Amino acid sequence: MIETASLVYPLSGVFVGLTVGLTGVGGGALMTPLLLAFGVHPTTAVGTDLLYAAVTKSVGTAVHHAGSTVDWKIVRRLAAGSVPATLLTLIALSHIGAQSREVSETIKFVLGIALLLTAVSIFFRSRLAAFVTRRFGEPTDRQAARLTVIGGVVLGVLVSLSSIGAGALGVTALVLLYPAIPLARIVGSDIAHAVPLTVVAGFGHWLLGDANFALMGALLMGSIPGILAGSWLARRVPEFGLRPALATVLLLVGANLVHVKLF
């Protein structure tokens, strides 16, 4: 049983919250590896982080909706792919056995891949977007709609298995598919889509016995003030060094999880 009185989880929440507030990314990408480092079972770490993300993303969605920076058409397209994919992934986990050794090892591997992809997307998002636009041009609305649903499917599977992907990877995909839409609206749409995705995936893991509400409460106790403080500091701390530093950490952690030696 996890001791909710332990300071290590609220302090972890503060650290992750500060990072999210300062850079806009890094929530699940940092929280799930931290929980694994503290000895939490992989499926429990993923399930708890998903429920934790559902709360924080709901708050973020309310803020973005109030500021008219959510494109609900994009949200619906993403959810049309991600929600069914999430349900199918959870059904597969229930049949295989969520607490089995095979599932644990698969989750660690997928988590590592997701971290590596997130790091790459942080490092090269603008260059990748410019290259794709030059090479293929701006997609038509029909093409964008189809690819958005497919992207939602990929995110649904990835997030259900690792709790990572809805943030940096989702934003990167939307930047590529909707280059004419302002970044603030892309980010708001991505955050809004993360709510149904993390709610469905989080409660699915809870039904499988893979979530800990006491742990989630301890994490939120630290992360909410951390996000507020990070958001305040973001206006005063130069960002140019923060995102590369975060991407480097994610790269190293991801490489370790998939047993790749970088150096």
- pLDDT tens-digit map of 6-54: 788 999 988 888 887 776 666 777 888 888 888 888 888 889 999 988 8
Report how far residue 139's alpha carbon sits from residue 81's, in angstroms, rounded to the nearest whole number. 19
- Select from 93, 222, 214, 247 the least CA-distant residue to 162: 93
DSSP 97: -
Is the CB of residue 19 less than 8 Å from the CB of residue 237? no
The SS3 of residue 241 is: coil
What residue segments make up the domains of the chain, in order of their start? 8-257
What is the pTM for the complete model shown? 0.79
Between 23 and 232, the higher pLDDT residue: 232
| Per-residue pLDDT reduced to its tens digit, 202-221 | 999 898 888 889 999 999 99
Angle between helices 42-66 and 27-37 (to 10 degrees): 160
H/E stretch holding 163 reads none
**Interatomic CA distance for residues 28 and 13, integer angstroms:** 11
| pLDDT at residue number 156 | 93
CA–CA separation, 241 and 47 (whole Å)? 31
Would you state the pLDDT for residue 4? 46
Longest dimension (CA), the chain: 54
Burial class (CB in 10 A: 0-12, 13-18, 19+), 201: buried
Three-class DSSP category at 26: coil
Taking 50 as the threshold, does the pLDDT of residue 5 lie above it? no
Model pLDDT for residues 101-112, shown as the tens digit of each residue: 777 777 778 888
Q: How confident is the model at residue 168 (pLDDT cuts 50, 70, 90)?
A: confident
Highest mean pLDDT: which of 2-6, 118-122, 181-185, 245-249?
181-185
> Smallest Cα–Cα separation from 170: which of 75, 106, 92?
75
Question: Of 181, 154, 131, whose CA–CA distance to 170 is shortest?
Answer: 154
Give the rounded percent of residues in the chain with a pLDDT score beyond 70: 89
Nearest Cα neighbor of 121 from 186, 185, 34, 35 is 186
CA 103 vs CA 70, 153, 198, 199: distances in Å: 35, 20, 19, 21
Instruction: State the pLDDT at residue 23.
Output: 67
pLDDT given at position 229? 83
Say how many CA atoms lie within 13 Å of 161 toward its Cβ.
Answer: 26
Distance, CA of 42 to CA of 205 (rounded, Å):
11
Structure tokens at 194: 């993360």
Confidence at residue 7, expressed as pLDDT on a 0 to 100 scale: 84
Mean pLDDT of the 59-73 span: 86
**Mean pLDDT of the 122-131 span:** 80
DSSP one-letter code for 7: S
Give the Cα separation of 131 and 55 in Å (integer): 35
**Alpha helices in the chain, H assignment, sequence order:** 8-23, 27-37, 42-66, 72-96, 101-136, 141-162, 168-177, 183-207, 213-234, 242-257
* pLDDT exceeds cutoff 60 at 94: yes
In whole numbers, what is the pLDDT of the chain averaged over residues?
A: 83
